[in-house]
Amino acid sequence: MSSPLAIGAVSAVLRNLLDDGLIEAGSAMGLTVDVTAVAPDTIDLDDADASPRLNLFLYQVTPNQGWRNAALPSRSSVTGERLTNAPLALDLHYVLTAYGRADFQAEILLGYAMHLLHERPVLDREAIRRALDPSPLDVSMLPPAFQALTASDLADQLEQIKLTPSIMSNDEMSKLWSALQSHYRPSASYQASVVLIEGARPGVSPLPVLSRGPRDPTTQRERGVLVNPDLLPSVPTLFRAEPQFSQTGARLGEPVTVTGARLAGTGHVVLLRHRLNEQPFELTPDSVAASGESMTITLPGDAAAQAALAAGQLSVGLRLLVDGEPAPRETNTIPLILAPTADFASADLQRTASEVTVELTASPQVRTQQKAVLIIGTTEAVAAARDDAADPLLFSFDPAIAAGEQRARLRVDGADSILLDRSGTQPIFAPDQVLEVP
């Protein structure tokens, strides 16, 4: 596969092909011909001393229809590792334009150019290597942009580049030249297909399957595909994580009920992942239902958990050993909102003529990469930048904010502190989610 330099490499090879072909064709023009690959609006048409010119311009790039559904870049939903590097398949659309000041110069030049491309409908690999690495010429003598194209790997891609004349109607040609804001000159359009660009990041390839399930130690027969007489998933699967009282999120120290299927087994370990943590936070569930349909976990609230966990969206997974299987199995992941808990009772509020400042702490600690917003009543303020997660949050409000007791909530990465108390028959405002504005 080619690198992202392949688009520029195709243009460079085509320009080289046209340049060499016009040199070999001799002096039919009687003048030196310039071969360029620039935007038509940058060409000075008023220069009376300008030589005849042949210009190749890339005006459009489209996905290749044959390759576009081959695959998509994918990552593991569990670890985030890259699994595949699917190629970016592109078709390149060029307009070839001839410029000449004397009679018939442009027509003759365009005829030579179109014949050259007709005779070379495929850019063979050796021609690409010669064009991008013109030995024995020292590549370091060439412009820096051209030097970079030698690393495009265009000659080694799976498919060869094919050139096909494309038909543009008068309407399409008129729109193109109007968009270019340049005067029309005799032109022909071509399509170069296909350019395959692939990433160089390492992927993960699975090993071949040796058996469908464990083998019987006596007969060495495979167990086969596990079938259950119901419509539930055949492997341990998590469905949903529900905070207590149907709250919008769970807080540290509170229980969470996780529902699923086939959760029975041994060695249960709950895995809590967050985008800012490289490794999952592990904890043991409080209980697992004998039916395997649910389990209960309690989010720890100690100092270690406050530093290790982060507010916002967590992904909850489970690792367990299913009865009869030799190795632990890891389930899918489900979302869980970890709501921040702001210490409003110990908050420090100060009013000056220019602002009202609020300094408070939160649990878990708000990372320096997270966005924290304090909402007092209906007024919001974003926390000032900090150097360490253990530093308190500092908010600055407009002095027009009303004084007195007001409802408050802290929002971290879109997760709000719990403002409503749903433990009763009807929801009420939590009495501790208030600030006394001076």
Residue 269 scores a pLDDT above 60: yes
> What is the reported pTM?
0.62
Residue 82 has pLDDT above 80, yes or no: no
- Which pLDDT band holds residue 100 (cuts at 50, 70, 90)? confident
Q: Check the CA dihedral 304-309-311-316 and report its sign.
A: negative
Q: Taking residues 251-279, what's their average pLDDT? A: 95
For residue 250, what is the DSSP state?
A: B
CA distance 285 to 41: 68
Give the three-class secondary structure for 180: helix
More confident residue, 286 or 323: 286
Lowest-confidence pick of 94-108, 220-234, 312-326: 220-234
Distance between CA 257 and CA 278 in Å, rounded?
25
User: Cα(96)–Cα(24) distance, rounded to whole angstroms?
Assistant: 19
Domain 341-437 bears CATH identifier 2.60.40:
yes
Task: Count Cα neighbours of 337 within 13 Å in the Cβ-side half-sphere.
Answer: 18
CATH class of this structure's domain 237-338: mainly beta
In this predicted structure, what is the pLDDT of residue 49? 79
Query: Where are the domains positioned within the chain?
Result: 6-197, 237-338, 341-437
Task: Return d(Cα 399, Cα 61) in angstroms, integer.
Answer: 54
pLDDT digits (tens, 9 = 90+) for 187-237: 999 999 989 887 766 666 778 888 887 788 888 888 787 778 888 888 899
Is residue 389 pLDDT above 90, yes or no? yes
- From 88, 83, 95, 63, select the one nearest 202 (Cα to Cα): 83
Pair 36, 56: CB distance under 8 Å:
yes
141 — pLDDT class (breaks 50, 70, 90): low
pLDDT at 23: 80
Rounded mean pLDDT, 40-57: 88
pLDDT score at 146:
67
Do 341-437 and 237-338 have the same topology in CATH?
no
